A = this chain, B = another copy of it.
């Protein structure tokens, strides 16, 4: 039974607490949070201890830590937990600062225990079924990937201001999805964005609607569309065109009921947001991490994957600013250890 310490008791921390507890081979031992009440409430629900992050990392009885703290603490906590010999599952992104993330990657390069980044969408059963079909050659050779990813509603502008911007905060998920499905990185990224949903987002220096085009060395192309607002719910669809066909992963709907009246044929909306859509994925993500620890299986999303997605977000941000494509190699220059 793995003893797990959870760093961060916010919304996403609560999701992970549920997954940790539901897994037959792991137990939630301790919870930390800068907000004492958040930690104690969550710990209470799962009969876990409230401790500081420092104490959790220092406790040799704890096997693994799940980092769900604010982004600017991720790199430090990854390094500290690594040095203390823990297995680490860290929420995305690794960092908002690519240089810091790359330094972190270099600093923990020799670590023997699993380090995994929480790109939960790879574990969604629809996307993983699509990946399996694509890898099995069911549509031949892949040529064109298209990702549609719309949130139901924009976050508060106060959050936008500290988020690192749409490309680092939101589209980073889709960059990782592209890496997952295409099996490698693009050579260049071109992006455009604007604030058509809410002008205040624009005044805060960010965009709320964006398109990025990724080109690959072998001629393949990927397109990612993001919007901070979809009035009908969380829109998460992927299409892959190959030499022999098309794969589409459609939205998950609230239910299967269809109503036909004089007004039309009405079906259910997509599930509202990520908690509804991806709870299955969070559980599968945790199971994969446990397998990496206990069965020595490969970590399915590495720290390198986390850095790559962040570099792509950096490239897209620069491209949207300059109006020019950005070469990923110009972004992903090696960092001295």
Q: Which residue numbers of A lie inside 8 Å of B, CB to CB?
A: 125-126, 129-130, 133, 138-141, 143-144, 146, 148, 150, 188, 190, 192-197, 209-211, 213, 215, 218-221, 223, 225, 227, 229-233, 235, 239, 241, 243-270, 323-325
Q: A262–B192 contact, CB under 8 A?
A: no
Indicate whether A192 sits within 8 Å of B211 (C-beta atoms), given known contacts A241-B227, A243-B229, A262-B245. Answer: no
Q: B244–A126 contact, CB under 8 A?
A: no
From B209, B225, B260, B270, contact of A232 by CB (8 A): B260
Q: A264–B255 contact, CB under 8 A?
A: no
Taking CB atoms, residues of chain B closer than 8 Å to A249 are: 255-257
Cα A140 to Cα B188 in complex, Å, equals 34
Q: A219–B247 contact, CB under 8 A?
A: no
Q: B244–A143 contact, CB under 8 A?
A: no
Additional pairs, 20, CB under 8 Å, beyond known A190-B213, A211-B223, A235-B246: A129-B257, A129-B268, A133-B259, A144-B225, A146-B148, A193-B221, A194-B220, A195-B219, A209-B219, A209-B221, A231-B243, A231-B244, A231-B245, A231-B246, A231-B260, A232-B262, A245-B259, A250-B257, A250-B258, A253-B265
Q: B209–A259 contact, CB under 8 A?
A: no
Q: B192–A215 contact, CB under 8 A?
A: yes
Cα A144 to Cα B223 in complex, Å, equals 13
Give A144 Cβ to nearest chain B Cβ, in Å: 6
Taking CB atoms, residues of chain B closer than 8 Å to A257 are: 126, 129-130, 133, 247-250
Taking CB atoms, residues of chain B closer than 8 Å to A243 are: 197, 229, 231
Q: A232–B250 contact, CB under 8 A?
A: no
Q: A213–B211 contact, CB under 8 A?
A: yes
Cα A118 to Cα B192 in complex, Å, equals 31
Cα A261 to Cα B148 in complex, Å, equals 16
Cα A211 to Cα B230 in complex, Å, equals 23
Q: B265–A269 contact, CB under 8 A?
A: yes
Cα A68 to Cα B248 in complex, Å, equals 37
From B150, B251, B264, contact of A267 by CB (8 A): B264
From B197, B256, B265, contact of A266 by CB (8 A): B265
Q: B248–A220 contact, CB under 8 A?
A: no
Would you give 10 A-B contacts (Cβ < 8 Å), ordered by A? A146-B148, A192-B215, A209-B219, A223-B223, A231-B243, A246-B259, A247-B259, A250-B257, A250-B258, A267-B267
Taking CB atoms, residues of chain B closer than 8 Å to A251 are: 256
